[in-house]
Structure 1
Amino acid sequence: MAVDPETLNPVNYSDAGALQIVNLLFQSMLSADLADDKIKPFLAAEMPQVERQDSVTLFTYQIREEATWTDGSPVTAADVAFTLKVLKAPLLNNEFLKPQVQFIRDIRIDASNSKRFALVCAGYSPEMELLTGDFFILPAYLFDPEALLQPIEVAALSGGLSELENNENLKAFAAKFNSQEYGHSTAMLQGSGGYLLEEWANGQYLALKRKSDWWGNDIPDAPHLTANPERISFQVIPDNTTALLALKNRQLDVLENIEAAEFDKIRNDESFKEDYSLYSPDAYEFVYAGLNTRSPKLSDKRTRQAIAHLLDVTSIIQVSQRNYATPTVGPIPPSVQEYYNSSLELRSYNADKVTSLLSASGWQKEQDGWYKTINGQREQLTIEVNYKAGSTAFETAAIIFQQRAAEVGIPVQVQGMENSLLSTNLRRHEYEMFFRSLSGNPFVYDFQPLLHTTFASEGGMNVTGFGTPESDSVLDAINRTESPQEKAKLLKRLQEILHEEAAFISMYYRQDRLAVHRRFDNIKVSGLKPNYDVSAFTLQE
């Protein structure tokens, strides 16, 4: 790890490294099995039963009978209720996960079965099945031994919360929960997972040890529940060069996020490959270009299509990613074959097509550039491109775009800027073009915030202003449908519209790069972070 986690509190962790460790200590009802990237029951005995009623949907869960906490007491529905209170209550450091559970309005615990409960959810969308089970369950006995939150009902946390800010019990709990102890203490960070935090030497390492008699061992129907290594040590190495040297000296068993140039070198090192296997799975993170459709210069889709043809994605991948990336026609990963629209043609740099499209859009080529009369004013086609300062990948993309545009007579200015300023400018619609990346997963395809016109006003996430009546209708239908076949049809149509409108232009999906020592077996490599499940590792025979 490059740095120590800020906290391992399962409610307010803030980085992927912390999440990897929290995953070994705590569990959620459902989670992804990195062997096949499928959602499976973890704490839950099975996938939830779904019952749709008028304006609410009930998701009923059964916790595994075997599931216990570190002290041997059972994991119960009361622990789920406690966790929801922690996620939803005011005064607590829970802003990271609070939006994820806003739609959960209440919990109904089965009076005859302490391990069975139903979550009462507002409305319905297919991704609710995952979201109702995708948060770490906390042990109430350990996190709230004085039962301070017990008198507060989950249902009371779904409306206005101002009155609760003066609740003495809640204030007393918040003072403890928000303290450093709840995110760093080996005594506090004990969940239902197979590991305990044994030692945290700040700036050096974090060591986890396997529980001696973990409940998840040998459950016949759940081979994805694993705690195989006896001890797992995460080394804190701030410098990439030092980390790679440690790997080459056989001091590390696993290293991820290896820089592309260095990955190429070790791929050609035969002695290194005798000891290590190398992997480059397709990640669920894509790079895209956004164009401001509100700009008079960019309002015609033919102009935007011309710009899309100036995005020399092949060269950008070659230079910035050293070919560790996969070009894409839209925001669906090409690896998700059932949803990816393979009938669409990947756009490539084509000067003749650019010229033809610009002419069709009303631009006229003159000696010093392209001109067009817009709203009675003679305008030259110039473009300012913004990206996050410090990102070599975005900077490279911007420079290559600038070079290709110059070849057809379009002046382009490139400008790196601090990320928060860039975000502010995008939401104010004060830009022409930008490069950014987005991370996702293969389970949820809710593109409404990014692409629906209801999110296109100032301050909304649809910063490009993309949207047609048909695209809005398709986005709504994607969120409603329960049929995989219908979802596939709708997602492919969405990709066609995005391709045609050329405002939100998906370019490529990154590939991750990692090395794992060959002495290990049962290595589940995935494009999902953290790219491997260390709890599943076994030693080669």
Structure 2
Amino acid sequence: MRKINTALTCFFLLLFTFCSQPERAPEEVRVRVAIDPETLSPVSYSNAGALQIINLLFQSLLSTDLGTNEIKPFLAESMPTVERQDSITLFTYTIRKEAEWTNGSPITAEDVAFTLKVAKAPLLNNESLKSQLEFIQDIRMAADNPRRFTFVCSGYAPEMELLTGDFFILPAYLYDPENLLHHIDVADLSGDLSELENDEKLKAFAAKYNSPDFGRDPKLLQGSGGYTLENWENGQYLTLTRKKDWWGNNTSNTQHLTAIPQRVSFQVIPDITTALLALKNRQLDVLEGIPAAEFEQLQQQESFLNDYALHTPDAYEFVYAGINTRKPKFSDKRTRQAIAHLLDIESVIKVSQQNYATPTVGPIPPSVSSFYNTGLTPYSFNAEKAASLLKASGWVKEQDGWHKTINGKKEKLSINVMYRAGSTSYENAAMILQQNAGKIGIPVQVQGVESSLLAQRSKQHEFDMFFRSLGGNPFAFNFKPLLHTDYAEQGGLNYTGFGTAESDQILDRISNTVNSRQEMAKLLKRLQEIMYEEAAFISMYYIKERIAIHRRFSNTKVSGLKPNYDVSAFTLKEEE
């Protein structure tokens, strides 16, 4: 059989993809995304690529200015006023008077209340946002100003100021023209919601809102941001076009509110080799997540550096290994600790990241020194320690491997490791684990799968172990959706089944009752200790991002915060 040249095939596929798109606009920015978003719903999106696109369509009350890495008011005209009253805290906001929806109607407190209903109501696809906002108990409208409102929040935590403003505001006129949620008060959406599950109007809204089309229809994906969705060709590209008369252009002293490029085109290129080829052919303006080895090569290519600038900000993204604690063979934490000692994080960093990474003991960035647990040491490769832990957890070494009687049946210890296909970093980590585990007699099968299949198997708990990454920020540390046992059922975000009574209590306190940074530090450090000991959600390292941006653009606002640059601010340089 004649073999097909892979590089040539990638080139023709790339050529077809770009040729099938609308003609490139002079001010167009072309950005690669690795995954075609499942949805662009501002409430139930599931990956960083989708979030980057949604950020151009919708806005929150507060957000981060990537140029300064500071929290600034976006839809809000200023930071909220804060008033503490015994067991509650009041956060009062006023929406900018210029802020308006795509149809020209003003954004009001009613839109904020509607958004809270969508985020907190039962029956809706809102699992992630619901946990983030559960501390908001009610909203009070100002009688004299339709743009002013107050959140009534339980307890107090320093990060509440950000969390009260860090969710996308939805247009009630567009999402609920029939007023199906109008009869529900935000105050009714805390505590027992079982009665609401039988509400006919809510069920009618949920049937519409949960449909796949609700997160893909350009007629519905119209928020307060500076762009609208122009085209979405599945598996190929998404194109956003700048609004002609966007309200953000009419504000003063708000350099962080931008919509400068005429068009932003997101190219769906799952394979990084194909993405690099597109970059080298000058068919992409931005590429992040460049593999370390290729990044090193690009730094040596003078012709490439004439056209592109390379950046390496310290990212808030970390790689972790997840072990399915629900499987009997992994139920003993000593077995999971043994596996952790076979990961060899230092070698993974050296091989896959060319040392563009920092080992970590948990999901807190080492750079956030006040919350990072320096009393712990990242897991290191130790075959003898791994074997000792296996014996302590009841495994017996035999000629063909490790065996243990579980539920009356003799079972052999083996590990099937999943990772996103096309990721050399995850593949290298899986191969290193396979080699190290083989040294002590544990067979490891490695399997690269498509992102959608990886997400599906993770949610359905159909895995032994996986490698994934998560992005965060230095402002908020609410890990409840990822680590609380309330979210460990199928479909929840706690894929590994991690959780103890103490860790659940800590997560509840962090999201509801923390009163100071000192208390937050104590809780987070203890949480890291529990995670380290349980070894189900094993944090491995934080990466340095590796980005290439075409030099024809200025004002790129490169940052360690995702998406590591602000494409809405890109300004085309004048030709010399």
TM bucket (normalised to shorter chain) is: 0.7 to 0.9
The answer for the alignment partner of 1:265 in structure 2 is 297
- For the residue of structure 2 that corresponds to 1:40, the secondary structure is strand
Q: CA contact under 8 A between 1:287 and 1:509: conserved in structure 2?
A: no
- For the residue of structure 1 that corresponds to 2:414, the secondary structure is strand
Whether 1:82 and 2:114 are equivalent positions in the alignment is yes
Q: Distance in 2 between matches of 1:434 and 1:522?
A: 41
The answer for the alignment partner of 1:286 in structure 2 is 319
Matches within 5 A, 1:209-228: 209-212=242-245, 214-220=247-253, 222-228=254-260
Cα deviation for residue 313 of structure 1 reads: 1.3
Supply the AA of the counterpart residue of 2:564. N
Cα pair distance change 1:206/1:372, threshold 3 Å: closer
Q: Distance in 1 between matches of 2:536 and 2:231?
A: 50
Structure 1 unpaired stretches of 5+: none
Cα pair distance change 1:195/1:351, threshold 3 Å: closer
Q: CA contact under 8 A between 1:93 and 1:178: conserved in structure 2?
A: no
Q: CA contact under 8 A between 2:41 and 2:214: conserved in structure 1?
A: no
Cα pair distance change 1:334/1:145, threshold 3 Å: same
Cα pair distance change 1:242/1:487, threshold 3 Å: same
Q: Distance in 2 between matches of 1:367 and 1:182?
A: 53
Q: Distance in 1 between matches of 2:209 and 2:504?
A: 45
Q: CA contact under 8 A between 1:196 and 1:211: conserved in structure 2?
A: no
Cα pair distance change 1:206/1:295, threshold 3 Å: closer
Q: CA contact under 8 A between 2:333 and 2:533: conserved in structure 1?
A: no
The answer for the alignment partner of 2:418 in structure 1 is 388
Which of 172, 176, 200 is equivalent to 1:165? Answer: 200
Cα pair distance change 1:452/1:16, threshold 3 Å: closer
Supply the AA of the counterpart residue of 1:130. L
Whether 1:536 and 2:569 are equivalent positions in the alignment is yes
The answer for the alignment partner of 1:520 in structure 2 is 553
Cα pair distance change 1:403/1:192, threshold 3 Å: closer
Q: Which is higher, the Rg of structure 1 or of structure 2?
A: 1
Which of 435, 441, 455 is equivalent to 2:472? Answer: 441
Q: Distance in 2 between matches of 1:538 and 1:49?
A: 34
Q: CA contact under 8 A between 1:371 and 1:379: conserved in structure 2?
A: no
Q: Distance in 2 between matches of 1:473 and 1:175?
A: 36
Q: Distance in 2 between matches of 1:92 and 1:130?
A: 24
Cα pair distance change 1:121/1:216, threshold 3 Å: farther
The answer for the alignment partner of 1:233 in structure 2 is 265
Whether 1:484 and 2:514 are equivalent positions in the alignment is no
Supply the AA of the counterpart residue of 1:208. T
1:465-486 per-residue CA deviation (whole Å, 9 max, x = no partner) reads 66485x6665565453332234
Q: CA contact under 8 A between 2:320 and 2:469: conserved in structure 1?
A: yes
Cα deviation for residue 378 of structure 1 reads: 13
The answer for the alignment partner of 1:67 in structure 2 is 99
Which of 356, 364, 367 is equivalent to 1:332? Answer: 364
Cα pair distance change 1:347/1:22, threshold 3 Å: closer
Length-normalised TM-score, structure 1? 0.78
Length-normalised TM-score, structure 2? 0.74
Cα pair distance change 1:51/1:356, threshold 3 Å: same
Supply the AA of the counterpart residue of 2:53. I
When structure 1 is superposed on structure 2, of 267-276 and 435-444 the one drifting more is 435-444
Q: Distance in 1 between matches of 2:531 and 2:45?
A: 35
The answer for the alignment partner of 2:48 in structure 1 is 16
The answer for the alignment partner of 2:241 in structure 1 is 208
Whether 1:137 and 2:169 are equivalent positions in the alignment is yes
Q: CA contact under 8 A between 2:56 and 2:227: conserved in structure 1?
A: yes
Cα deviation for residue 153 of structure 1 reads: 3.8
1:178-211 per-residue CA deviation (whole Å, 9 max, x = no partner) reads 584874335x543322334455566455131244
Cα pair distance change 1:82/1:482, threshold 3 Å: same
- For the residue of structure 2 that corresponds to 1:227, the secondary structure is coil
1:303-343 per-residue CA deviation (whole Å, 9 max, x = no partner) reads 76554333211222334445443321222122333322345
Structure 2 unpaired stretches of 5+: 1-32
When structure 1 is superposed on structure 2, of 269-278 and 97-106 the one drifting more is 97-106
Supply the AA of the counterpart residue of 1:253. D
Cα pair distance change 1:518/1:298, threshold 3 Å: same
Which of 142, 145, 162 is equivalent to 1:113? Answer: 145
1:212-239 per-residue CA deviation (whole Å, 9 max, x = no partner) reads 453355532x432222334433345566
Count of equivalent residues? 527
Q: CA contact under 8 A between 1:105 and 1:120: conserved in structure 2?
A: yes
Cα pair distance change 1:248/1:499, threshold 3 Å: same
Which of 404, 418, 427 is equivalent to 2:436? Answer: 404
- For the residue of structure 2 that corresponds to 1:265, the secondary structure is helix
- For the residue of structure 2 that corresponds to 1:525, the secondary structure is coil
1:229-270 per-residue CA deviation (whole Å, 9 max, x = no partner) reads 344333455664444333223232212343445434323222
- For the residue of structure 1 that corresponds to 2:369, the secondary structure is coil
Cα pair distance change 1:152/1:324, threshold 3 Å: same
Cα pair distance change 1:238/1:30, threshold 3 Å: same
Cα deviation for residue 272 of structure 1 reads: 0.3
Q: CA contact under 8 A between 2:431 and 2:446: conserved in structure 1?
A: no
Q: Distance in 2 between matches of 1:26 and 1:195?
A: 9
When structure 1 is superposed on structure 2, of 195-204 and 361-370 the one drifting more is 361-370
- For the residue of structure 1 that corresponds to 2:433, the secondary structure is helix
Whether 1:505 and 2:535 are equivalent positions in the alignment is no
Cα pair distance change 1:214/1:65, threshold 3 Å: closer
Cα deviation for residue 355 of structure 1 reads: 6.6
Q: CA contact under 8 A between 1:7 and 1:13: conserved in structure 2?
A: yes
Which of 428, 445, 460 is equivalent to 1:414? Answer: 445
The answer for the alignment partner of 1:277 in structure 2 is 309
Cα pair distance change 1:526/1:133, threshold 3 Å: same
Q: Distance in 2 between matches of 1:289 and 1:27?
A: 32
Cα pair distance change 1:505/1:201, threshold 3 Å: closer
Q: CA contact under 8 A between 1:317 and 1:324: conserved in structure 2?
A: yes
- For the residue of structure 1 that corresponds to 2:321, the secondary structure is strand
When structure 1 is superposed on structure 2, of 365-374 and 281-290 the one drifting more is 365-374
Cα pair distance change 1:497/1:174, threshold 3 Å: closer
Whether 1:27 and 2:59 are equivalent positions in the alignment is yes
Cα deviation for residue 116 of structure 1 reads: 0.8
Q: Distance in 2 between matches of 1:457 and 1:207?
A: 36
Q: CA contact under 8 A between 2:299 and 2:305: conserved in structure 1?
A: yes
Supply the AA of the counterpart residue of 1:441. G
Q: CA contact under 8 A between 1:149 and 1:173: conserved in structure 2?
A: no
Cα pair distance change 1:11/1:496, threshold 3 Å: closer
Q: CA contact under 8 A between 1:279 and 1:514: conserved in structure 2?
A: yes
- For the residue of structure 2 that corresponds to 1:82, the secondary structure is helix
Q: Distance in 1 between matches of 2:338 and 2:323?
A: 14
Supply the AA of the counterpart residue of 1:311. L
Q: CA contact under 8 A between 1:217 and 1:225: conserved in structure 2?
A: no
Q: Distance in 1 between matches of 2:77 and 2:269?
A: 39
Q: Distance in 2 between matches of 1:325 and 1:90?
A: 40
